[in-house]
Amino acid sequence: MVTPSRITLARKRRGMTLADLSEGARISLQSLSNYETGRTAPRRATMGRIAEALDFPEAFFEGPDLDELPADGISWRARSKTSARKLDAARAAGTLGAVLYDWIDRRFRLPATDVPSFTKPDPETVAGMVRTRWGLGTAPAPNMVHLIEAHGVRAVSLAPDYAEVDAFAVWRDGTPFVFLSTMKTVERGRFDAAHELGHLVMHGSDRECSGPEAERQANDFASAFLMPASSVLGHMPRGAHVDQIIEGRSIWKVSAMALTYRMHDLGLLTDWQYRSVCTELSKRGYRTDEPQGMKKRETSQILTKVFQALWANGVRPAAVASELGMSSEEMSKMLFGLTASIADSGGKRTEGHAQRRTLSLVH
């Protein structure tokens, strides 16, 4: 039995139109359309060609209907510049990520959701409220992925095919999800995680979560969350030189550009100083890159622990992928490249075969 919605989802995941797939699988547009609406079911050989063109295992198409991520609830970074097809593809990838977490949720107890919803008063204050609630005070933020995970956010990495989508966040049935690019500098990855946290806190699925105003709010939230005002004012001198800024960025693990922006925002740089620091940073390559920046990407602690625990119980990543009807490659794109390192370490087999069903996480 083929589930029609799964053909549509896989097609969107690959960024293909109906015409693309009809050509790739050598079937008529009308037949394909009928398969996707469920009017008729494809024969086995035809389904084989569709699966091959979509590069999905045939088993994928036999699973139950999938709970798609809500299109309206997603905060896209650059909707205007990105084609609808790319956004559909990223959303389909996100749906598959959520399916993976459904599978994990049935086997492990993950941290409870503790992401507050604050629409007021302003991003700066809201960032401080979340910090207080999470017991961070004004200390530099720790590993951002570990931090949001410890408060119930499910983090998934985005396949490199969606570099222009960057990152996005969405609430799905009361559970917050964040999808992160692994193509950017480590510092920008941290800023993305904080930005998406801002969307989750300030723009729930019932509120306007896209557009320039929402983006500005999420950026202001991220800036204030990563670089609390009192902390920056206490460490950075007024009118700081570009070299002091480059050195100072490591306190908060942010990009030199982000710290420059924050210092201007807090009145530590005049308009003129801000522009001249930006020009100098650009000249030195800091606009698009982060020379001598952080080396180690922040990745998921939950996925690492889950796949280590599975490994210790004799369950390999490939078996999980197969159970979900995905290829191992498809699944590994969601796992921040962690499966390879888990395999290298032999999954830390020393734990033996204890039936660990609970993950207690610390950050």
Quickly list DSSP for 73-129: T---S-TTTS-HHHHHHHHHHHHHHHHHHHHHHTTSBPPPP-------S-HHHHHHH
What b-and-e string marks burial along 281-293, b requiring 16 or more CB atoms within 10 Å of the CB? beeeebeeebeeb
Contact pattern for Zn ion over residues 116 through 155, marking x by CB under 5 A: ----------------------------------------
Of 115 and 309, nearer to Zn ion (C-beta) is 115
Q: Which of 144, 159, 218, 246 binds Zn ion (CB under 5 A)?
A: 218
Q: Cβ 203 to Zn ion, closest distance in Å?
A: 9
What does DSSP assign to residue 276?
A: H
Of 9 and 218, nearer to Zn ion (C-beta) is 218
- Integer Cα distance of 182 and 189 in angstroms: 7
Question: How far apart are the two ends of the chain, measured CA to CA in Å?
Answer: 44
Q: Of the ranges 9-17, 51-59, 185-193, 214-222, which one interacts with Zn ion (CB under 5 A)?
A: 214-222
Which residues in the 269-328 window bind Zn ion by CB under 5 A? none
Contact 96, 326 (CB under 8 A): yes
Question: Is 197 a residue that touches Zn ion (CB under 5 A)?
Answer: no
Q: Which two tokens stand for residue 246?
A: 């480059």
Of 146 and 195, nearer to Zn ion (C-beta) is 195
Q: Cβ 75 to Zn ion, closest distance in Å?
A: 5
Phi, psi (5° rounding) for residue 311?
Answer: -60, -45
Q: Cβ 122 to Zn ion, closest distance in Å?
A: 17
Question: Is 209 a residue that touches Zn ion (CB under 5 A)?
Answer: no
Grouping H, G, I as helix, E, B as strand and the rest as coil, residue 20 is: helix
Which residues in the 63-92 window bind Zn ion by CB under 5 A? 75, 77
Q: Cβ 265 to Zn ion, closest distance in Å?
A: 18
Question: Is 210 a residue that touches Zn ion (CB under 5 A)?
Answer: no
Could you list the residues that contact Zn ion (CB under 5 A)? 75, 77, 215, 218
